[in-house]
């Protein structure tokens, strides 16, 4: 499946999801109105849901009523009743959104691991620089309580941008930490996270992810799901370690293979997102993986 087909498939899933969500809300509102038939708020909400369903049938759903451009998809996924794009929010709506984004940014940054971590002979460092207030990029470093000198590491990228992506990133962090805390082996981490994301993520969302474990002996276990290849920089060579599974959340079934390697003193494992490889110069030329290897 090429990029255009994948995007169309994701859009179709999102539309199906949104229609289903609106119908569920319609049913719940109908049940609530039966118990409180004079509640004006419930009646007004029912009208808004019916109008959104009518726009879907007419093919105008997701189009800003002010400028007739597309409404941001992540906002529709969070609130299917949105009718205008960010540029045409009222002043109070804009202030409320800015306040929510600021709080979400604080929560997300509070989940980041220590910047410099030294455990069992390993030295781990990362750079995290989101384009906006919140991000779908994911990085984690976990020191398991029941393992001496080991570090569990993860780098990922949630499809989409904005609040919807950051919410799934937060969910990933909680998932991985819970699974590591119960002693789950490395080869099962991706498989279990895939099942949880497939069951809980909104339609069209998926995650490219690399997860691994670095032992005090210098041995590394690593597995990737649709993510950019990891880079093992040894004394006389640089080797790309490619993902062996599709991104998590796309299908319930996945069978990632675990790669084992050993690093010596002074050798490095590099993980990254497309914020590096897809960076462009003034001529529009991407930096690319080959330049990163060099």
Q: Quote the pTM value.
A: 0.71
For residue 21, what pLDDT is reported? 83
* pLDDT tens for each residue of the chain, 294 residues long: 554 555 455 566 777 878 888 898 889 889 888 888 888 888 989 999 999 999 999 999 999 988 999 888 777 877 788 888 888 888 887 777 767 667 766 777 777 888 889 998 999 999 988 776 667 788 999 999 888 889 999 999 887 666 767 777 888 888 999 999 998 998 899 999 998 888 776 656 788 999 999 999 999 999 999 999 999 998 888 899 999 888 988 888 888 889 999 999 999 999 999 888 888 889 889 998 888 888
Give the per-residue pLDDT at 215.
95
- Round to whole Å and give the CA distance between 206 and 45: 31
pLDDT at 3: 45
């Amino acid at each position: 499946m090429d990029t255009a087909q994948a995007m169309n498939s994701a859009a179709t899933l999102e539309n199906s999801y949104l229609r289903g969500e609106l119908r569920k809300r319609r049913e719940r509102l109908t049940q609530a109105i039966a118990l409180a038939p004079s509640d004006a708020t419930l009646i007004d909400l029912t009208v808004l849901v019916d109008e959104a369903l009518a726009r879907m049938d007419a093919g105008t759903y997701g189009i800003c009523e002010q400028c007739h451009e597309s409404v941001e998809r992540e906002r529709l996924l969070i609130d299917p009743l949105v009718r205008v794009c960010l540029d045409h929010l009222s002043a109070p709506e804009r202030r409320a959104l800015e306040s929510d984004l600021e709080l979400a940014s604080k929560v997300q940054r509070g989940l980041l691991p220590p910047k410099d971590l030294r455990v069992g002979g390993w030295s781990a460092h990362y750079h995290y620089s989101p384009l906006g207030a919140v991000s779908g990029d994911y990085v984690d470093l976990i020191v398991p309580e029941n393992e001496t000198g080991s570090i569990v590491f993860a780098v990922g990228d949630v499809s989409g941008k904005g609040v919807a992506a950051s919410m799934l990133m937060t969910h990933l962090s909680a998932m991985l930490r819970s699974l590591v805390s119960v002693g789950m082996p490395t080869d099962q981490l991706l498989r279990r996270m895939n099942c949880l994301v497939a069951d809980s993520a909104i339609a069209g969302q998926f995650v490219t992810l690399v997860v691994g474990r670095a032992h005090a002996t210098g041995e590394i276990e690593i597995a990737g799901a649709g993510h950019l290849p990891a880079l093992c920089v040894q004394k006389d060579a640089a080797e790309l370690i490619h993902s062996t599974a599709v991104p998590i959340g796309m299908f319930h079934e996945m069978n990632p293979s675990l790669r084992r390697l050993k690093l010596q003193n002074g050798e490095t494992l590099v993980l990254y997102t497309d914020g590096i490889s897809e960076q462009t110069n003034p001529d529009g030329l991407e930096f690319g993986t080959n330049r990163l290897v060099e």
